[in-house]
Each structure stands twice: as C-alpha cells, then as structure tokens.
Chain A
Amino acid sequence: MIRRLLALCISLLPAPCSLLLSQDTTAGKTVYVKWCAGCHGESGAGDGPAARHMIPPPRDFTGAVYQIRSTASGQLPTDADLLRSIDEGLPGTAMPGWKTKLSDRQRRDVLAYIKTFSTFFADTTQRPQLLQFGEEPGVGAEALRVGRQFYDSIGCRKCHGDQGRGDGPSAPTLKDDAGHPIFAANLHENWRFNGGATTTDIYHRLRTGLDGTPMPSFSDLIDQKFLTETELWRAAEYVRSLSPSEPPVVRDVIHAPLAAHGLPRAPDDSGWNAIDTYWFPLVGQVIHKSRWFAPAVTGVWVKAVHTTDSIALRVTWDDRSVSPDSSWLGHVGRVLAAVQTDDSSREQPALWPDQIAVQFPVTIPTGMERPYFLMGSSSAPVYQWRWVSTARSSAAAGLARGLERFDPAANTGVGGQAVYDHGQWRVVFTRALASPDTATQLAFRTGRAIPVAFFAWDGSNGEHGTHMAVSTWYFLALDEPVPARVFISPVLAMVLTLGLGMLVVWRAQQKTSYRRQQ
C-alpha cells in the first residue's frame, strides 16, 4: 500500500511543472476567438473586422513573421518573445498589453494557439536560437558623440532622418511586407517604440531587425567585424538620448506667464526657452463622418506667454514632410488604400497642405459648460486660429460651426510665424488680449481658465477636412501679475495689530496710575 502511494506521489510530482509549461490550444482558441479575432481574424491572417481601421495593421500569424524577437532576422521568435508582445503589447500600435486582462494560463494557451496558424512552428528544422546581446557598456562622456557618428555611418538617417524624426530621404517610400504604408519611427518618441523604450530594447532591435518591416538587422556588422558590439551599443545609446528621460505627462492647464521682456513672436526666439512646455495627445477624428483612423500627428507641445496687452502661443509638432510634397504621393495612395473610410468612393491621392488649428470658446465660460469640443456646432460656434503650410507667415481666425464649416473673420489681429526644422513644425500665433470683435472673437482675460483644444493635419498622410487628429478641451491660464498689495497687506496688518496692542497697554497703564493717585 505504501509503495502504491509512493508511486502515485512520484507520478504526480511533475504536476506543477506540467501545468506551467503545458499549452492548451483548445483553450487557447477560446481566448483567441473572444479577445484577438476582432483584429487578427478568425483564421489568424490579420484580417479581422477592425483590421481595416489600423495602420500598422494587425499581425498576420499565418506567415510567422514577427517584429519583436531575441533571434536573428528570418528566425522564428521564442515563446518568451511572443509572450512579451502579448503581455506588454506593442506601443505605438493598436495592440494593448494583456498581462492584467488575461490569466497566465490564458496567455500561454493563446500563445500556443497563435503558433498553430503557421506550419513553420511545427517544422523541427526551424529552431530559434537566441542571439548573444551582451551588457550595455555604460554611457561615457564620449558615448553620445560616438553613437551619433555610427548613426550616420551605418545609414540610420536614410530612413529616420538627420535628427531622427523619421523624415529621411527613403521615408516616403517605405512599405511593410504586405505593401502597407509604414513610417520610419520618430526616434524622439521612445514611448511609441514597438519593441520597447530602453537602450537595451533599442540595441536588441538593432541586432534582430524588425522582421516584416523595412528595419533590418545590423548583426552582420559585428559578425563581420565592421563594428564592435560596444560601437553598436553607442548607436543605441544615441537613439535613446533623443527622447525625453520620461514619457510626457498630460497637464490640463497651460500656464502662460507674464513676459518680462516683450513677446517672443518668432518660433525660435530665445524668449521661449524659459517657458514651460505642455504636451497634449492627439487621436484620429473617429466621431463624425468621414472618420479618420490613421492620424500621423500623435501629439503637440505647447508653450504660451503674454504681456499686459498681447498673447503668444507656440505649437510644436513632429511631421515628416513639408506638405504638399509630391514625393509622398505614393505614401498617400498606400494610406488611402489601407484604411477604410466612410466614403463609398475611394479617395484619390492629392497634394494637401499641413495644418494646425487652436480652438477657444467665443467667450470665456463662467460655469463648466463648454462648446462641443469637435469644432462647436451651428448654434454654438467656437473661435479658432488656423495655420496652413502653404501660407507659412500668416494665420487665419474665425468661427467654426461644426467640422464642415469655418467662417474666417476679416479683421483677426492674429499673427502667424512658422519654422520647419528637420521633421518638426514650430508655429507661433500672436494676438492682442482685447478682442477685435467680442461677438465673434474671444477676449483673453488674465486669471481665468480659458478652454483650449488642438487639431492637426498632415497633408502627406492624406489628411484634410474631417480626416485629422484631434484633442479634447484643455485649459489656458494667463497668469496674473502678483499685485503689490499681496506683499504690503500682511506688513500693514502686523503694524496695525502691534499699534493697537500698544494703545491698549498704554490706556491700561494710564488707568492704573489714575486709580493710584486717587
């Protein structure tokens, strides 16, 4: 009996191990159909109902070509690689992380099921082998200079551009394996890197490449002794240095301080340097027809400052081209072919400009009520500043009455100045605080929370009209100068209190001596 029990125990011992390692494709299918098929399709071909609203499109599992791997280009990913993409998602794409949404067991099961879509995983001659990456050598004083040197010499700039904003000479021609349009990553936005934000992540992508995309593996440079591993690490360190140390955080209120020395009117005026920057995310306009699912502008950086009579507001955003630019027409065609819109007739690629709009209410609201954020309505219009890349040194202003109608004002008093610099627009709007016409144009006042919203169009991404990127309402506050009474009142109060106290004491002493005399 004891021996039997012992045998039973031994046979059951590997149970925890098997539970961890086993992958149940039947259970995986249930998870897949419920959570994944909407984008990736029932058959795993990346053709689910939502796929036509996405750039980049969902992964087609049938080819077993994966971007995020720890293996050489052309090899299959490891299970750990696939699990990482399932757990963390792919930043900068529609793929979310599932770590908190699905259990460990469910994620392992769905991983096993995804592998059944391709015969490559069952092929025993296809053995993924881990690349040896080594450790980051540590950033020395010279590291970034050396990194920049290799960034140039190994050709990163061909696609990613001189300053890394994805605006290199080859950028307009890029396609993925299926011919879908693809942007060279903007290296200033590491929080949107598909394979992760850290220097190590970047180095791993340099070594493995992002299979299925134009990003190649640079491992041969090391294997054939054209570069040392440390030198390639330097390139990764340089790329990491282009992004902020922390991803930007949304702060709802733009504080516009009172300028000490006049208004900075030029985009690169040194007066902007000391002023705080605010970042606001933009998303595709998917509320009203015709909707737009592939916005190129994903955020704007805003600074504002004012004097006693005027305001200047600078909007900075990354854009891969000065539109209209005929070299991007092919890209526009690919975007329009890849993304489903509401139009029954397919739109033809054309040369559209870049645009930005800054939106305010017509009057500063007293309560919480604000006009409709998406360019107001016919009954409740909004006041907008608009700038177009075809008229760089000017800006329009007027009333928007919904997405389709903008009535420019004749006398706007709004100035515009723009600079395009290596994949980035910087546009400054200026205006007097007082309104040229209070019925249609906002009168700015200090010390009030003024609603503000932003809209952007990248013409070289096929954006115009309702095809744009939008923000929600945020606030602009023109900081009031601190009045002198703030400093004088407390002193005055102290002097008065002291004086009164002394008076009371003196009167009391007077009375005491009077009584004594009596």
Chain B
Amino acid sequence: MNGRILSVVGGMFLLTVCSKGDTGNAAAVPAAPPAAATSEASADGGTITGKIKFTGTPPKMPTIDMSEEAACKAKYPAPPKEEMVVAGAANALANVFVYVSAGLPANAKYQAPSTPVVLDQNGCRYHPHVLGIMVGQNLEIKNSDPLLHNIKAIAKKNRGFNVSQPNAGMTRDVTFSAPEVMVNLECNVHGWMHAYAGVRPDPFFAVSGADGSFSIKGLPPGTYTVEAWHEKFGTQTATVTIAATESKTANFTFAAH
C-alpha cells in the first residue's frame, strides 16, 4: 500500500518537474477572450481639442548630411533639417503625442481598427515622425527609397525588432502587444532617422499638426488625465472633465530648452 502511494506521489512530482522544464517550448495556451464587451469611441462622445505651443527661441535644427545617399538628397530642393523640434507659426509645436493616460473605465476594451497605420521611409526620413497606434493594430512599414534602411524598434513592454529593407517597395507589417509611450523607431544606416510610436489600448490619442492643434474625439463622460509628450521638451499633463457630448479645450505650453 505504501509503495502504491509512493509511486503515485513520485509520478506526480516527476510530472511537475518535467512540465516545469518544458515551459519555454510548450505550446502556448490561446489567450482568453476579453471578458468585457468591446467598447468603441462613440461618434457622439465628448471631444478634447487644444493647441500646443512652446516658449522661448526655437532651437536650431542641424542640417542633415545626405551626401552618402544621392537618391535621398535629390528629393529635397534645399538640405533638409532634423525634426527633433518642428515649429509652426507663433511657436506652434508639431509632433506632440497627446493621449488619455488615465480616467477610462478599467474594464473597457477597445477594438483595434482594421486599417493600418503607415510609416513611410521616404527621402531618408520617416513619415510621419510621430504616430499613434492601438495595441494589435497593424503598423505597415514601407520603403519608398531605392536603398537600404533598417528599421529598429527599441521598446521595453513590447518586443523590439530590427529588420532591413534594402529595396524600394518592401513592406513589413508589425503589431504591438502592450501599451507603451513611446516605442522608438530608428534607422542605423542613417543616424538622423528617428520616429516614435505611441502604443495605446484605446483610440483616444492624437498627434499635433504643423499648427500645433490636436483633437481627441468620442470620449465617454468622465474625468481624464491628458498627457502630452514631446521628444525633446518632455511631458505635460492636464485634467479634463467631460460631460455627455461636450467639447473641452486643453492647451499645453512647453518651455524650449
């Protein structure tokens, strides 16, 4: 009798040990479907709009030396400049990623759109320079230049990658699995090429345009923390309360340094 118990216990123990060792290669269990019903940005929800500016003198952007890449150089009438700070009229600040960092219902799930976000490598620059994307949404990276670009993603919560596109017309679809502001994208062949992807679990984000304006639509009523991120000037936050379908303004002013 004792022997039988021993054998059962022993077998169970060995099974445990075996399965523990196999974890790395074991077939993955499919992720459980989200428990909460999928929410969507409501067409008649609230809106947050605003303008982004900065104080001080616009920093001088270095000219990019494209002499090694004639095909890129030819795409510009005048030597292009780097895009760390892209200023519009009256110190308007472009390329600021604005998003709702807190305030949404904890159990809300949002469906990623089926349309991809496109990141184009054209003239040895990224278009756009800053983008927002949802978890699970396709990022279509394409090369419009007839030369080698590598696209390296540096991330902490997502898996980074580094793939090459030596030919014009190459594309690569990637998705991100976790929210992260920001995932850095860069080309190591052309050290000046940087892009930033804000990965969000919801659709409530925007990137400021050349006039510094942005607009986040379809928000359900609530009190939100809105964060504005700029690659050089850092981050700022604002608290905005929205009732029903109202439209609120949240302006941000960064200090140039």
Do the two chains bind?
Answer: yes
- Is B7 part of the contact surface with A, judged by Cβ < 8 Å? yes
Q: How many residues of A contact B (CB 8 A)?
A: 58
Which of A29-76 touch B at CB < 8 Å?
63, 65, 73-76
Stretch at the interface among A122-130, A290-298, A402-410: A122-130
Q: How far is the CA of A79 from the CA of B152 in the complex (A)?
A: 24
Chain B residues in 8 Å Cβ range of A128: 24
Report the count of interface residues on B (CB-CB < 8 A): 48
Residues of chain B at the chain A interface (Cβ within 8 Å): 3-4, 6-8, 10-11, 14, 17-18, 20-29, 31, 68, 147-148, 150-154, 156, 159-167, 170-172, 174, 177, 188-191
Q: Which 8 A-B pairs have the closest CB atoms?
A: A155-B148, A74-B161, A214-B188, A173-B191, A216-B150, A216-B164, A124-B28, A11-B11
Cβ–Cβ < 8 Å partners of B153 in chain A: 74
Q: How far is the CB of A151 from chain B (nearest CB, A)?
A: 11
- The residue that A209 contacts in the complex, of B31, B159, B162, B190, with Cβ under 8 A, is B162
Chain B residues within 8 Å of A79, by CB: 24-25
Q: Contact mask A12-35 → B, CB, 8 Å, 1/0?
A: 101101100111000000000000
User: Which residues on B sit within 8 Å (CB–CB) of A4?
Assistant: 3-4, 7
Whether A21 contacts B166 by the Cβ 8 Å rule is no
A69-87 residues at the B interface, CB under 8 angstroms: 73-76, 78-79
Contact of A73 among B11, B17, B20, B163 (CB under 8 A): B163
CB of A198 closer than 8 Å to a CB of B: no
Could you tell me the distance between the alpha carbons of A12 and B25 in the complex, rounded to whole angstroms?
Answer: 24
Given known A-B contacts A8-B10, A216-B151, A154 and B164 have beta carbons under 8 A apart: yes
Report if A457 contacts B (CB, 8 A).
Answer: no
Question: CA separation between A73 and B162, bound complex, in Å?
Answer: 6
- One of A126, A153, A158, A215 near B159 (C-beta < 8 A): A126
Contact B148 A177 (CB under 8 A): no
Within 8 A of B (CB), among A174-226: 174-175, 177, 209-221, 224, 226
Known contacts A125-B31, A127-B28; A22/B162 CB under 8 A:
no
Given contacts A5-B3, A73-B162, A218-B164, contact A22 B147 (CB under 8 A): no
Identify B8's interface contact among A11, A120, A209, A212, CB under 8 A: A11
26 contacts between A and B (CB under 8 A): A7-B7, A8-B6, A11-B7, A11-B11, A11-B14, A18-B18, A22-B17, A23-B21, A63-B160, A74-B153, A121-B23, A125-B28, A126-B159, A128-B24, A153-B166, A154-B166, A155-B148, A158-B148, A159-B188, A170-B188, A170-B191, A211-B161, A215-B162, A217-B163, A218-B166, A220-B172
Least Cβ–Cβ distance between A215 and chain B, in angstroms? 7
A367–B147 alpha-carbon span in the complex (Å): 62
A508 to B8: give the CA distance in the assembly, Å.
106
Q: Give the distance in Å from the alpha carbon of A126 to the alpha carbon of B159 in the complex.
A: 9
Q: How far is the CB of B14 from chain A (nearest CB, A)?
A: 5
A78–B24 CB distance below 8 A: yes
Interface residue ranges of A330-383 to B (CB < 8 Å): none
